[in-house]
Amino acid sequence: MGIADDAVEIRARGWRTLAALHALIEAELERALAESVQLSVVEYTVLDALSRQDGWHMRMQQLARATALSPSATTRLVTRLEDRGLLTRILCADDRRGIYTELTPSGRELFERAHPIHDEALARVLAEAGGRPELAPVVHALQGSQVLAGA
């Protein structure tokens, strides 16, 4: 068991920690959002991404990147949200292959309602995770580094 093997184990352990934390947070957000606004986490991510592009449009591909989803999944995700009247497809004139998406007033309204719920759940689960010794360092780094980045 040499130094190289230690490095392997350290990486693997870090990855397991990351995966565990991710699963914990996602499960809690999923629960909270589904309960109060009938939204999944990815669906919320779409609304969030669109709302942050305030007044401006977003291509399907950008949406796929923001959600870490395949093109096909993105298509259906957008279709679901469109069917609920939360966003609209806008085919752009300059490149007729591309399709822009934009929040409807109803979509923006729902997002405004979902936003505090999302944050409350996130704050709660991060606090809980911060209490677990194996997760705490990552939780701290997550917030600490972002303090610097956000300042």
Partner DNA sequence: GCGGACTAGTTGCGTGTGCAATGATTATGT
Partner DNA sequence: ACATAATCATTGCACACGCAACTAGTCCGC
Residues that bind a copy of itself (CB under 8 A): 6-15, 17-27, 48, 68, 118-119, 122-123, 126, 134, 137-138, 140-147, 149-150
| Min separation Cβ 31 and a copy of itself, Å | 13
Q: How far apart are CA 13 and CA 49, in angstroms?
A: 31
With CB under 5 to 8 Å by kind, the binding choice for 19 among a copy of itself, DNA, none is: a copy of itself
Please tell me whether residue 99 binds DNA under the rule CB under 7 A: yes
| Min separation Cβ 22 and DNA, Å | 12
Please tell me whether residue 76 binds DNA under the rule CB under 7 A: yes
Q: CB under 8 Å to 57, separation ≥6 — which residues?
A: 90, 92, 100, 101, 102
Structure tokens at 23: 């699963």
Q: Report in angstroms the alpha-carbon separations of 132 from 10, 13, 49.
A: 18, 15, 30
Please tell me whether residue 89 binds DNA under the rule CB under 7 A: yes
